[in-house]
Amino acid sequence: MAEQVILREVGLRDGIQMAKCFLDTKHKLDWALRSQAAGIREMELTSFVPAKVVPQFADAEELAKYLPQLSGIVASALVPNLKGAERALAAGFTHINYVLSVSELHSQSNVRRSTDEAIDEFKRIVALKQTEAGKNMVLGVALATSFGCTLQGHVAPERVFEVANIVAAGGADELIVADTVGYGNPVEVKALLEPMMDIAAGRRVVCHFHDTRGLGLANVAAALDVGVRVFDTSLAGLGGCPFAPGATGNINTEDTAFMLESMGYSTGIDIAALLELRCDVESWLGDERYHGAIARAGLPKTFTMNS
């Protein structure tokens, strides 16, 4: 059998966080259920941030009521702080992703705290795991701006490794290495990820790439070479960071699945079903930037799925 690679769909979180219109809960649920039917097995469903900051996620608790319908799906929620983690757990999530910016300027702009203060908040979330409410928590830590930052510029790899060591030793269950603003290239990806795999010491390493400058899939291929087998992707390449002007969003789920299947890996994803879903998502969201070569050119006649 072909080796499996997991694509974690983040369209419902990262993909729509800056969308111009509010996507109602009914359509979010439809998106999630149809992704499930298309073979997606992991999904970042929402974010527990203050509604006044990101109105798109004002229905996080309401959406969480439908978690039982997503059987077979690992549904996670992104949180910016301890309060968000408490809300997510109370709503029924067990998989929590905490974002920690390695770039000082990005951290200050995004969550109004320094990187060291964000590490302290991580420790408070880990303490929550020791309580009755958090006993089933699986905590992922996203190391944002690992490859550079539009505000700070260069982010030293040594600092990325330092922060990664702290969170790995401090209670993170998985490490999410994020090229938040799309600065990375394949050479840098290999150079950063090889030590990161050692730091993870058996914990799962997830890569979160953006296709800001057209290198997203090349970076996926580089990460595969060093052993990464889980990637965040977004339907139609939706999303991006508010601190990356002109960004073209996350790597595209359909294109990434196609590339992986063409390379001999198995994703279990029905790409044609995703393309049908994409058409509806475009009608729901309206005037957004949608990306993807497979949506434009279609699947080649020679394409076959791996099992």
Convert the pLDDT of each residue in 74-89 to its tens digit: 999 999 999 999 999 9
Q: How confident is the model at residue 246 (pLDDT cuts 50, 70, 90)?
A: low
Across 82-86, 91-95, 147-151, 174-178, least confident range: 147-151
Predicted confidence at residue 248, as pLDDT, reads 72
Q: Are 175 and 141 in contact (CB under 8 A)?
A: yes
**pLDDT, tens digit, 9 for 90 and up, residues 82-135:** 999 999 999 999 999 999 999 999 999 888 999 999 999 999 999 999 999 999
How far from 226 is each of 82, 123, 202, CA to CA, in Å?
33, 29, 14
Strands 174-178 and 204-208: parallel
The confidence score (pLDDT) of residue 71 equals: 86
**What length does the chain have?**
307
Domains of the chain, each with CATH number or no CATH: 6-297 (3.20.20.70)
State mean pLDDT over 238-245: 75
Backbone angles phi, psi at 100, to 5 degrees: -135, 115
Q: Which residues of 109-143 are buried (b: 16+ CB within 10 A; e: fewer)?
A: bbbebebeebbebbeebbebbeeeebeebbbbbbb
Q: pTM of this prediction?
A: 0.97
Residues annotated as catalytic (active site), given as ranges: 241
Per residue in 252-286, pLDDT tens?
999 999 999 999 999 999 999 999 999 999 999 99
Res 200: pLDDT: 98
Please report which confidence band the pLDDT of residue 244 belongs to, taking 50, 70 and 90 as the band edges: low
Taking alpha carbons only, the member of 255, 203, 205 closest to residue 233 is 255
